[in-house]
Structure 1
Amino acid sequence: MVTTHTCENGLRIVSEHIPHFRSVAVGVFVKAGSRDETPEENGITHFIEHMLFKGTETRTAKQIAREFDRIGGDINAYTSKEYTCYYAKVLDHHAEHAVRVIADMFFNSVMDPAEIDKERQVVLEEISMTEDMADDDVHEQLWRVMYPRHSIGAPILGTAETLPRFTKEKITEFMDRFYTPENTVVSIAGNITPHVIKVVEELFGSFRKKETPKIHLLPDFSSGFSFKKKDTEQGHLCLGYPGLSLNDPDIYSLSVLNNILGGSMSSRLFQEIREERGLAYSVYSYHSAYSDHGTLAIYGGTADEQIPELQEVILQSLETMRKQGLGQEEVLDSKEQLKGNLMLGLESTSSRMSRNGKQELMLGRHQEYDEILSLIDAVSMEKVESLLSLISGQPAVSIIRSKEASS
C-alpha cells in the first residue's frame, strides 16, 4: 500500500512497505527539468545533477562513491524535461545510511568553483558523445523541430555555448528557485521500517525555502523538418506527432495504440518493415507524456540510401491504419501486453519507488494497480481508433544521413 505524508514544510514523503523484499530504493524527486530553464540557462538542471555528486562539507566525491560500493548499493541520478531524480538502492539494513548520504548531497553540496570548471568538461564530453551517436542525436533534432520556440524542445544536456555560464552563483540562484519543499518528493519502497521514515522526515521535513511561482507556457507543436549530415554508415529517421498529456483520460487508449503501431515485436511497423521487408533492424514508436502535452514519435534506422523508402513505408503504414482501422484481436493483445508490463514492474523496488515518486510529483495522486488494470480493460477499439487522428496531420521530421547523401 502506498502512503503519502506531507511534512510541516510542505515536502511529501511517499512510502510503500514491501516486507518480502530485502532491498530498499529511495529517490528524491525535484520538479525542475530542462523546460524550466531560460535559453541562457539551458542545461543547468542537468549540470546541478552532476554537481551534487562532487562533494559535500563532510564527504568528497570519492567518499560518496565508496560508501555505496562498500555496502553493495547503487546511487545515481537523472534529469528529464520536467523533473530531476536522485536515487539509491541498497539492502534493507543499509536504508538509513543511504537516506543520510543523499540528504547530505541534497543540502550540503559545496559547489566548489574548481569542481564546476572540471565538470563543465565532463558534460561537454557527454554532449559530444550524444552527438556522435546518430541514433540518439536524431531524437534530439526531432525535439528541436517539434518545439523550436519552447524550452521543452531544447536539449537536456545544454550546449557548448551555455555551459560556460554556469557559475556557483547561477547554480545557487536556480536551486533557490526550484529546490524547495513544495517542489520536492521523497519516495521510498521496499522492506522499510518506521524508523527509516522518521529519519527521512527529520532530514527533509524541516528545510525551508520560499516557493517561487512558476509559469509553464503550453508547448506549440511544429511540423518542421531537420536534415543533418554526419559521418555514419547508417541513416536515421524520426517522425513526431502531437500526443496526450499525463492527465488525459485517454492516455491508456493511446498506450494501446502505440503498442499496435510500433511498441512491440508484433506491432504493425516492426512486422511490416523488419519482418516482411527486411528494411531496417531497428524500428519502433513511443509516447512521451508530460504535465500539459505529449508526443508520439517513430524511429527507424536503415542503410543510408534506404532512408527515403523507409519514410515512405512508415507513412503508408500509418495511412493504412487510418483507412482500414484496427483489428479487435490486436487491440486485446495490446491491452494484455500493457497489463503484463505493469505487473512485471511490481517485482522491483526501484520501479515501485520511481513510479510512486513520479505520480506524486506530477499528478499529486496514486492509482491502485487494480484500478489501472480496470482502466486498461475498459479501453475500447472505438476509442483507440479515434486516436488515429493524432497521426493524420503533417509530422515533424528529423533525418541524419551520411555526408555524401542529399536531403
Structure 2
Amino acid sequence: MKGIRGIGQLSRRLYAAQAARTAEHQHVGFHPQEVQVTKLPSGLVIASLENYSPASKIGVFIKSGCRYETPDNQGVTHLLRLASNLTTKGASAFKICHGVEAVGGSLSVTSTRENMIYTVDCLRDYIDTVMEYLINVTTAPEFRPWEVSDLTPRVKMDKAQAAQSTQIGVVEALHAAAYKNVLGNSLYCPDHMVGHIQSQHLQQFVQNNFTSARMALVGLGVDHDVLKQVGEQFLNIRSGSGTTGAGAQYRGGEVRLQSTSSVVHSAVVSQAATAGSGEAVAFSVLQHLLGAGPHIKRGSNSTNKLVQGVAKATADPFDVSAFNVGYSDSGLFGIYTISQAGDAGDVIRAAIGEVKAVADGAVTAADLTQAKAQLTAHLLMSQETSEGFLDALGTQALADGAFCSAEEISKSIDNVSLTDVSNAAKTFMLGKKTMASSGNLSHTPFVDEI
C-alpha cells in the first residue's frame, strides 16, 4: 500500500467550505450538537461530536489488543505501541515527529487487552496535517528491520518501569491465572520474546487485524462529514473481519509473587459480567457500594464498606477496594487488598466477608442510592475531559456501532435494584476464585483457604 499523501488538500477544502457556511450564518450562532455515528459499507465506524472547540482530538480505535496475539508473536502489541512514530510508506520517522510538533500537536498510542488506540491532538486549524500522519501510522507502516531492532531497549525499559509497580504486576498475574487463553496475554512483551519480535511479526499482525471492519474513526471538535470522507477515502484499506480470535476461557487459579516486601498486595476475583451487559451495570454499582477508592483528592477510604469491615479485623494501616473489569466476552469482579504481611490473611477474609454480607442482603436502600450516585458521577465526570469522552465514544462505537448518552447511562444505573446487587455479590461468592498476591506471603492464605 502506498503512503498517504494529499489528505491536507481534502481537509482544507472541506474546512474552508465549512468556514464559509459559518460565516454566512454568523447571526444564527453555534448550535449544540449531538454525537453522530455512521457505519460505512466497509464496516468502518465513524463517530464524532462537534463541540466547536479550537482544539480537536481524533482517534483510530482498532480491535487489535494483546488478546489477539498468538504464542508465536506474544509481545507484538507492546512493540506496536512503541512503533507509532516509525517510518511509514508516506512519511519518515523524522517527518512525523517534526511535522506533528511543528503545529503544536501530539501523536500517541495506547492499548488495552482488546483494543489499540491511536490518537492525535491539535488546534483544529492544523487538523489536516496531523490527520495525515495518523492515517499513515495506522494504514501504511513499513516496520523497517533496523528500526524495529532499535525498539528492544525501549521494551526493556517499559518492562523495568512496570516491574516497579506492584499493582501492575498483580493485575497482570491475576489475568494470567484467571484465563487459559487470550485474556491471559500480558500487555507487556514476555521476557523470552524480548528481542525476538521481528519486522515480519509486526507486518503480519497488522495485516490480520488492521482491517476496516475492525476500526472506528472518532473525533471531538471535528465536523462529522469531514471525518466520514476521510474514512471513506483513506481507511477503506482491507475488507473482512480479520482475525476473530478465540473466546476467553476462564479457569481460575493462583499466582504467588514471593518477595521480601513487608507490604502484601492481593487480588481475589471470580468471573463476572461482560462489558456493556445489564449485569455489568449491577457489578459496577456493587463496586461503588463496597468501595471503589477515595472520592476526595488525597482522601481516605474511611467511608468505604470494605474498609469499615476490615477495620474490625486489624488496626494496622491497610487499603482495600472492590476490583471490577469487563471485556467483550468475560469479566472479573472481586477485592484488592494492600496490608502488612502479618495481617494479610485477616484483611482478605474480612473483605470477602463484607461481600458475603451484601450477598446475604445486608444492604439498605440508602446504601444503594449512595452507590448509584457515586457511579453516575464517576461515569459522567470521566467524560468531562476530552480524553475520557473520546475513549468512551471510541470504545462504544467500536464494540456496538453506537454511543450511549448520559441520560441512558443514568437510567440504566437507576434501574439497578437491591436484588440485582445481591445477585452480583452471590455470583462472586459462588464462583470459582482466582487469586494473585505479591510480597512476603508467609501469612497470606492460598486461594483454597479463603
State the TM-score, normalizing by the size of structure 1. 0.90
Other structure's SS at 2:142 match: coil
Kindly provide the amino acid, as one letter, of the partner of residue 77 in structure 1: V
State the distance in 1 between where 2:159 and 2:220 align: 33
Q: Give % identity.
A: 18
* Letter aligned with residue 246 of structure 1: A
**Structure 2 unaligned regions, length at least 5:** 1-33, 295-302, 446-450
State which of 292, 305, 326 in structure 2 corresponds to 1:289.
326
Q: Which has the larger radius of gyration?
A: 2
Cα deviation for residue 339 of structure 1 reads 1.7
Alignment of 1:31-180 (within 5 A): 31-147=63-179, 149-180=180-211
**Does residue 396 of the first structure (1) align with residue 434 of the second (2)?**
yes
For 1:194-205, list aligned pairs within 5 A.
Answer: 196-197=226-227, 200-201=230-231, 203-205=233-235
The answer on whether the counterparts of 1:236 and 1:301 sit within 8 Å (CA) in structure 2 is yes
Q: Distance in 2 between matches of 1:133 and 1:10?
A: 39
Structure with higher RCO (Cα < 8 A, 6+ apart): 1
Alpha-carbon separation, structure 2, partners of 1:233 and 1:63: 49
Superposed, which structure 2 residues align to 1:216-235 within 5 Å?
A: 216-222=246-252, 224-235=253-264
Partner of 1:353: 390
What is the alpha-carbon distance in structure 2 between the residues aligned to residue 248 and residue 145 of structure 1? 24
- Higher mean C-alpha deviation, range 9-18 or range 200-209: 200-209
The superposition leaves residues 145-168 of structure 1 with CA deviations (integer Å, 9 ceiling, x where unpaired) of 111x21211212130212343221
Work out the CA distance in 2 between the residues paired with 1:379 and 1:41. 42
Shift of 1:199: 5.7
- C-alpha separation in 2, matches of 1:189 and 1:280: 43
Identify which of 201, 208, 218 aligns with 2:238. 208
Q: Give the direction of change, closer, same or farther, for the CA distance of 1:139–1:375 in structure 2 (3 Å limit).
A: same
Any idea what SS the aligned residue of 1:10 has?
A: coil
1:16-70 per-residue CA deviation (whole Å, 9 max, x = no partner) reads 1112x33211110111111111122222123222212223245444543444344
Q: Which runs of 5+ in 1 are unaligned?
A: none
The one-letter amino acid paired with 1:212 is G
The one of 216, 220, 230 equivalent to 1:189 is 220
* Matched residue, 1:240: 269
Relative distance call for 1:406 and 1:81 in structure 2 (3 A) is: closer
Residues 270 and 204 (structure 1 numbering): CA distance in 2 closer, same or farther, change over 3 Å?
Answer: farther
User: 1:270 corresponds to which residue?
Assistant: 307
User: 2: distance between equivalents of 1:99 and 1:158?
Assistant: 29
**2:381 aligns with one of 336, 339, 344:** 344
RMSD over aligned CA atoms reads 2.5
| Distance (Å, rounded) in 2 between the aligned partners of 1:278 and 1:89 | 48
Instruction: Rate the CA distance shift 1:315–1:201 in 2: closer, same or farther, 3 A.
Output: closer
**Equivalent residue for 1:12?**
45
Which residue of the partner structure matches residue 382 of structure 1? 419
Secondary structure in structure 2 of the residue aligned to 1:319: helix
Q: Which residue of 1 aligns with 2:55?
A: 23
Aligned partner (choices 268, 272, 290) of residue 261 of structure 1: 290
Between stretches 45-54 and 332-341, larger displacement belongs to: 45-54
Picking from 354, 372, 376, the partner of 1:317 is 354
Partner of residue 363 from structure 2, selected from 326, 343, 352: 326
SS for the counterpart of 1:392 is helix
Distance in structure 2 (CA, Å) of the matches to 1:71 and 1:312: 55
Q: Distance in 1 between matches of 2:347 and 2:402?
A: 42
Question: SS at 2:174's partner residue?
Answer: helix
Pair 116,216 (structure 1): closer, same or farther in 2 beyond 3 Å: same
1:265-295 deviation per Cα after TM superposition (whole angstroms, max 9, x unaligned): 3331133446995544432223111111111
TM-score, with structure 2 as normaliser: 0.82
Instruction: Tell me the residue number matched to 2:28.
Output: none
Q: Please state whether the residue corresponding to 1:250 is helix, strand or coil.
A: helix
Q: Distance in 2 between matches of 1:311 and 1:220?
A: 22
Q: Which moved more, 1:364-373 or 1:290-299?
A: 364-373
Instruction: Tell me how far 1:258 sits from its aligned partner.
Output: 0.8
8 A contact 2:275–2:329 mirrored in 1: yes
- Quick one: distance in 1 between partners of 2:218 and 2:310? 41
Letter in 1 for 2:418: M
For 1:136 and 1:101, locate their aligned partners in 2 and report how far apart those are by CA, in whole Å.
32
| CA shift for structure 1 position 194 | 5.5
Over 3 Å counting, the alpha-carbon distance change for 1:387 and 1:199 in structure 2 is: same
